[in-house]
Amino acid sequence: MKAKADKSKDGLLQTQLGFVTSSVDPTSCPSMYVGKFGMEKMKESVAHWILMHEHPFSIVEEEGFNLMQRRGMPKWREITRNTAKTYCINVYEAEKKKMKSLLKNVNKISLTTNCWKSKNQKIGYMVITGHWIDESWQLQKRVLNFVHIPPPYRDLEIANAIWRCLENWGIDGKIHTISVDNASANDSAIENLKIYVKNKRRLLCEGKLFHVRCCAHILNLIAQDGLSDIKDIVDVIRDSVEYVRRSDARFKIFSEIVKQLNLPDKKLVDDCRTRWNSTYEMLAAAIKFKDVFPMFADREPHYDICPSAEDWTKAEKVCSVLELFWTAMHIVSGSDYPTSNLFLNEVSRVKVLLDKKSLEHDIFIQNMVARMKNKFDKYWGDTNLLMSIAAALDPKCKLRALEFCFPRLYFSGNVERQITIIRKTLYELYSEYVAISNIEDESIGEGQRNKLSNRDLANVEIQSGWSEYAEYLKSVESIHSQKSELDIYLEENCYIFEKDKKDGKDFDVLEWWRVHALKYKILSILARDILAIAITTVASEATFSAGSRVIDKYRASLTSDTVQVLMCGGDWLKKRFGVKKKSLSDKKAIYVNLPLDGDVSKV
C-alpha cells in the first residue's frame, strides 16, 4: 500500500497513513504518522526534553538519538549542540514571560533560599524558590532564580543578590516571608532585606513573621547531637555495609546467612554521610541484620570490623530516639502540601520524647538527650509564633492545638501567657487583613461611583430615602456589634476528620478553606498566605541535587547564565508537564536479594 503525499506550504511532504515493509534500511525506516511535520516545533520539543530531564546539549549529536528521530520522522534534520542550546534559551525566555504574567496575579509570595557550591566548578550559587497558593487553592512552587554568588558570602552580598532577583521579577512588593537555614550570615542578610522590603510596603505584624528559620535544619542540628555520641559506631557499621556490598561473593555469603536465619528484611542501605536522616536509615536497616554480621565474620576471614554487641545496643538506643525525628522530618519536608500547620504537633511529640528519655536510668541516654534538649530549647523560641498561628488556622486544630501542645512545650506557669500572646497576634494579623480589604473595597467603590450615569445617580437619590428608616431603627432597637469572621471561626468546634480506610486520603486543609472561602472571605485570604509559607528549605536543597547532576565533570565549563537557564527552565517545564523525579533516598537503597537458583543480585 503506497502512502499519499501532499505538498505543504513550507515545501515538506506531508505523509498520510501507510505501511512500512521490513526490507527498508533500519536507519531510514519511517513509522506511520499523520499530520504535518515541523522541524521548528521538533527543535522546541528537543529543548523541552533537554531541560526537563537534565540532558547535556551534546546529546543531540549522538548517532543513537538521531537514528531514533529519523525512524519516527524521515524529515528530521540533525542539529548541533549549539543549536540545542539556543533553543533551550529561547524556551527559557518564553517560559519566563509566562511566569512573570502568572506572578502578577499573586498577592503574596513566600520564599525559600539557600546557598550551594558546585564541586566541579568551584563556584557558589544561590537558589530562590517562590511559594504561594493560587486562586484555585492549589499550592504552587517555582524556582525563580539560580544565580552565581561571588565570594565573600557576606550578609550584604546575599541580601543584595536576593533583592536584585525580586526586582527583576517585579515581586519586590509582594514578599510575605523568607525561609533560610540558621547560618549567622543569613540572620544579618534577612535583616538587611527586611529594610529593603519595608521601603516598598508595610510588613505584617511589624515583620515578626518575615524571617522563618528552616525547621528541618533545626531538627538536623538536634539529631546530629544524638549521632555524635556514637560516631565511631556509625563508622564501623557503615564500613561493614560497604564491605558486604563491594563484592558479589561476599554479598552472596551475606544473603545465604539471611536466608538461613529466615529474616524477613531484604535490604541494606548505603547512606549519604552528610545527611543524618540518611545515616539513620542506614543504621535502622543494618540493625535488622545484627545477628548476620557475626556469622558473616566467621565465614569471611578478612572481615575484621564487625560491630560488637555493645555497639549494636547503643545504635538501637540512638535509633529509638531518632525515629521520631525522622518521621517529623518527612512530614514537615513535604513540598506538595502545606507544612506550616503541621510542625507544632510534631515538635511537641519530639519534646515529649526527649523529656521521657531524660528520665531513663541509662547514663548513655541521659547524657545524649541532655544535649539534644539544650539545643531544642535554644531554637524552639524562634519558630513558635508562626507555627502556632498556622496551627490555629487549621480547622482541625484552631486554638485547641495550643491548649494541647503548649503544656508539653512550656512550664505550667507560662502556658496561658503563651496562648494569650498567640491569640493576640492572630487577632492583630486579622485586623491588618481587614484594613487592607476595606481599602480595596473603597478603591473599587470609588471607581464604580465614577462610572455612574446621571440616570444611575437619580436612582440612588430615590433609593436613599430608606436611610431615614435605618436611622429610625437605630433609635428604637438595640443593634448588637457583629462578630468578626475570626470570632466565628474560633468559636465553632474543631473539624473532626477521620481517614477513609478505602481511599486513605489525609485531610486537605486547602480544600476545606476553598469550600469555606465565601463564609470567611477575609480570614480565608489570611489562611491562604500563612499556609503557603514553606517552613523548610528542602525545596532549595532538592534543586541543588539537580544542580550537581547538571554541572557534572563533563559540563563544568557551563557559564552561570546557562546554568540558570537549565535549572529554572527545567523546573518550570517539569511543573507544566507534570514530570516528577524519584526521591534520592530511593536511589540509596541496596537490596539484599536472597539466592534464587544460585543468582544473587543487587537492586
- Do 129 and 197 fall into the same domain? yes
| Sign for the pseudo-dihedral over CA of 350, 351, 353, 358 | positive
- Long-range Cβ pairs for the range 132-138 (8 Å, 24+): 132/106, 132/108, 132/532, 133/510, 133/528, 133/529, 133/531, 133/532, 134/106, 135/105, 136/514, 137/510, 137/511, 137/513, 137/514, 137/517, 137/528, 138/510
Q: Are strands 175-180 and 109-117 parallel, antiparallel or unpaired?
A: parallel
In a domain, 329, yes or no: no
- Do 396 and 530 fall into the same domain? yes
pLDDT-based confidence at residue 185 (cuts at 50, 70, 90): confident
pLDDT at 373: 93
pLDDT-based confidence at residue 267 (cuts at 50, 70, 90): confident
Q: Is residue 602 scored above 50 in pLDDT?
A: no
In a domain, 137, yes or no: yes
Q: Is residue 274 scored above 80 in pLDDT?
A: no
pLDDT at 30: 43
**10 Å Cβ neighbour count for 233?**
20
**10 Å Cβ neighbour count for 508?**
14
What confidence tens digit (pLDDT) does each residue in 303-317 have? 999 999 999 999 999
In a domain, 373, yes or no: yes
- Do 29 and 133 fall into the same domain? no
pLDDT at 553: 78
Q: Is residue 603 scored above 50 in pLDDT?
A: no
pLDDT at 440: 73
- Do 405 and 529 fall into the same domain? yes
Q: Is residue 467 scored above 80 in pLDDT?
A: no
pLDDT at 439: 80
Task: With beta carbons less than 8 A apart as the criterion, state whether 121 and 134 touch.
Answer: no
**10 Å Cβ neighbour count for 518?**
8
Q: Is residue 1 scored above 80 in pLDDT?
A: no
Quickly count helices (H) and strands (E) in the chain: 24, 9
What confidence tens digit (pLDDT) does each residue in 131-169 have? 999 999 999 999 999 999 888 778 888 999 999 999 999
What's the Rg (C-alpha) of the chain? Answer: 30
Full DSSP string of 97-157: HHHHHHHHT-S-EEEEEEEEE-TTT--EEEEEEEEEE-TTS-EEEEEEEEEEEPSP--HHH
In the chain, what percentage of residues exceed pLDDT 70?
Answer: 82
Domain range for 186 is 106-212+537-558
* Mean predicted confidence (pLDDT) in 69-82: 94
pLDDT at 445: 54
- Do 438 and 344 fall into the same domain? yes
Please state, in angstroms and rounded to a whole number, the distance separating the CA atoms of residues 67 and 61: 10
Last residue of a domain, one of 89, 122, 154: 89
Give the DSSP letter of residue 27.
Answer: G
What confidence tens digit (pLDDT) does each residue in 20-61 have? 444 445 444 444 455 688 999 999 999 999 999 999 999 999
In a domain, 542, yes or no: yes
- Do 143 and 187 fall into the same domain? yes
Mean pLDDT of the chain: 85
Please state, in angstroms and rounded to a whole number, the distance separating the CA atoms of residues 157 and 164: 11
Number of structural domains in the chain: 3
Please state, in angstroms and rounded to a whole number, the distance separating the CA atoms of residues 368 and 319: 12
- Which stretches within 288-334 are classed as H helix? 292-299, 309-332
Which residues share a beta bridge with 268?
590
Amino acid at 23: S
- Do 525 and 551 fall into the same domain? no
Angle (nearest 5°) at CA 296 between 292 and 299: 150
Cell of 30: 519511517
Q: Please enumerate in sequence order all residues whose Cβ is within 8 A of that of 534, keeping only pairs 6 or more positions apart, or say none.
A: 110, 112, 129, 131, 141, 179, 212, 335, 339, 340
pLDDT at 443: 59
Please state, in angstroms and rounded to a whole number, the distance separating the CA atoms of residues 350 and 373: 10
In a domain, 483, yes or no: no
- Do 356 and 436 fall into the same domain? yes
pLDDT-based confidence at residue 9 (cuts at 50, 70, 90): very low
* Mean predicted confidence (pLDDT) in 462-477: 66
In a domain, 251, yes or no: no
- Do 416 and 397 fall into the same domain? yes
What confidence tens digit (pLDDT) does each residue in 329-354 have? 999 988 889 999 999 999 999 999 99
Answer with the residue of higher pLDDT: 105 or 464: 105
In a domain, 194, yes or no: yes
Amino acid at 450: N
Q: Is residue 18 scored above 50 in pLDDT?
A: no
Task: With beta carbons less than 8 A apart as the criterion, state whether 242 and 230 touch.
Answer: no
Q: Is residue 16 scored above 50 in pLDDT?
A: no
- Do 9 and 145 fall into the same domain? no
pLDDT-based confidence at residue 184 (cuts at 50, 70, 90): confident
In a domain, 351, yes or no: yes
Q: Is residue 358 scored above 90 in pLDDT?
A: yes
- Which stretches within 170-247 are classed as H helix? 184-198, 215-228, 231-245
Q: Is residue 573 scored above 50 in pLDDT?
A: yes
Q: Is 25 helix (H, G, I), strand (E, B) or coil?
A: coil
* Mean predicted confidence (pLDDT) in 363-384: 86
* Mean predicted confidence (pLDDT) in 108-117: 92
- Do 62 and 200 fall into the same domain? no
- Do 531 and 543 fall into the same domain? no
| CATH assignment of the domain containing 112 | 3.30.420
Last residue of a domain, one of 61, 89, 117: 89
Return the C-alpha torsion angle 305, 310, 315, 320, nearest 10. 160
- Measured in degrees and rounded to the nearest 5, phi and psi for residue 317 equal -65, -45
Least confident of 209-213, 237-241, 438-442, 516-520: 438-442
Last residue of a domain, one of 63, 89, 115: 89
pLDDT-based confidence at residue 524 (cuts at 50, 70, 90): very high
